[in-house]
Amino acid sequence: MALSLFRRYPMEIILVCMYTYLMFSAPGFATLDNQMNVLRNITMQGIIAFGMTMVIVSGEIDLSVGSGVAFSGCVTAWIARALTDTLGPWPAITLGAIAAMVILFLVGVLTGKVRQHFNMPTFITTLGLLTVLSGAANLITDGFPITSFPFQFNFLGAGILFGIPFPVYIFAAVFGFVYFLMNYTSFGRALYAVGGNLEAARLSGIDVWKTKTLALGITGVLTAMAGVLIASQILSGSASAARGWELDVISAVIIGGTSLFGGKGTVRGTLIGVLFLGIIVNGMTLLNVSEYWQLVVRGGLIIGAVLLNHALDRSAKKH
């Protein structure tokens, strides 16, 4: 009984155990302030991770999201600076945010088209884009952060509403949106079919390229949203923001049980993965674990989670 429960919810159970342990051993972990702090810290990577789940389930990957976040923050700040005088600050910022989302959506679509027509693995295209977008962000900002936002803009990324950090609401909304997409739309079903067996999906009349391209496009939009949130949090558009996030995001998706080969994975799992990473980082910091050791532990976690999932899969097949 206990074993079958563990087989069904392995990461959830480990998460609960870890949480309980930290509650009693990490000083300050159980305070409400700290809990909110954890939540705020995971929202932005989490928002992207939900989109990344769709991309990876469809059998592709997006390595460019780290630079995408920085780029979209810079685009928003740059447009806000250019238009605030004529339109006023809020329309200018809105326009900037929309522009960032549209651009990253189109970049995602382009990645999908290149995959379709030139059979170029998204691993390569988005690896290139990681550098391209970072360069573009630096071009826009000239290497210095653009501080064009009014201080009230800080609310979006750092404000508190009804006792909960504001970005957490966005995080929850995006989770709900992606959960709905993946479970209650034919697009969501197609994602799994395409990632599970591309040719079988194609022969069933599913538009396999549209499916993959849309997943990449949506992830672009979510990346831009995270970029706007972080720009709000630091009140500037900075080209050096979010460096290395792509690996954290992919780690969260993988820890959540999504297969890099495609066809398998849930956004609920990704939510667990995101919480898992956030809590372990916070807990280790409170326990005064050195930052270097934290890196070692986080890396080990990814490997351990995948090994565990494989082992459970194998034992499930025997039963």
Partner 1 sequence: MSAIIETQGLTKIYGNVVALDDFSHTFEPSRIHALMGKNGSGKSTLVKMLSGVTQPTRGNMMLDGREVSFKSPHDAFEANIVTVHQELSLVPDLSVTENIFLGRLPRTRTLGINRINWGQARRQTEELFARMGLDIDPKATISRLSVGQQQTVEIAKAMSFNPTLLLLDEPTSALATKEVEMLFGLLRNLKDQGVTMMYISHRMSELAEIADTVTVLRDGQHVGSIEMGASSLDNVVDMMFGDVARATRPARNTAIPKENPILQVKGLTRAPVFQDISFELRRGEVLGLAGMLGAGRTEVLRAIFGADPYDEGEIIMDGQRVDTPAPGSMVDLGLGYTPENRKEVGLVQDHSIHANLSMASLSKLAPHGFITKAVEAPGVAKQIEQLQIKVDSPALPVSSLSGGNQQKVVIGNWLNIDPKIMFFDEPSRGVDVHAKQQIFQIIWEQAATGLSSIFVSTELEEMLEVCDRILVMKEGRLLGEIDPSRTTLTELYTACMEGL
Question: Nearer Cβ to partner 1, position 205 or 244?
Answer: 205
Q: How far is the CB of 9 from partner 1 (least distance, A)?
A: 17
Cβ distance 223 to 68 under 8 Å? yes
Structure token digits, residue 193 = 């079919």
3-state SS assignment for residue 180: helix
- The residue among 19 and 187 lying less far from partner 1, judged by its C-beta, is 187
Binding site residues, partner 1, CB under 8 A: 184-187, 189-190, 192-193, 196-197, 199-207, 263-264
Residue 261 Cβ, how far from partner 1 at the closest point, in Å? 9
Q: How far is the CB of 212 from partner 1 (least distance, A)?
A: 15
Report the candidate in 268, 267, 243, 269 with the shortest Cα–Cα distance to residue 255: 269
24 or 117: CB nearest partner 1: 117
**By CB neighbour count within 10 A (0-12 exposed, 13-18 middle, 19+ buried), where does 189 fall?**
middle
Q: Are 69 and 227 in contact (CB under 8 A)?
A: yes
Measured from the CB atom, the residue of 177 and 187 that comes closer to partner 1 is: 187
Which two structure tokens, joined as six digits, stand for 208?
Answer: 């396999």
User: Residue 19 or 209: which CB sits closer to partner 1?
Assistant: 209
Q: How far is the CB of 259 from partner 1 (least distance, A)?
A: 9
Q: Which of residues 201 and 249 has its CB atom nearest to partner 1 in the complex?
A: 201
- Measured from the CB of residue 179, what is the shortest distance to partner 1 in angstroms? 13
Here the tokens at position 140 are 């826009």
Contact indicator for 269, 50 with CB cutoff of 8 Å: no
- Minimum CB–partner distance for residue 199 and partner 1 (Å): 4
Closest CA to 69 of 238, 195, 208, 193: 238
DSSP string computed for 241-303? TTTTHHHHHHHHHHHTT--TTSS---HHHHHHHHHHHHHHHHHHHHTT--HHHHHHHHHHHHH
Q: How far is the CB of 264 from partner 1 (least distance, A)?
A: 6
Residue whose C-alpha is closest to residue 234's, from 315, 171, 167, 176: 167
CA-to-CA distance for 193 and 263, rounded, in angstroms? 6
Q: Which is nearer to partner 1, 33 or 319 (CB)?
A: 319
Cα separation, 74 vs 68, whole angstroms: 10
- The minimum distance between CB 185 and partner 1, in angstroms, equals 5
Nearer to partner 1, 81 or 189 (CB): 189
174-178: which pairs have CB atoms within 8 A and are 24 or more residues apart?
A: 174/46, 174/47, 174/50, 174/222, 174/225, 175/46, 175/50, 175/267, 175/271, 178/50, 178/51, 178/53, 178/54, 178/267
Nearer to partner 1, 107 or 201 (CB): 201
Smallest gap from Cβ 296 to partner 1, in A, equals 33
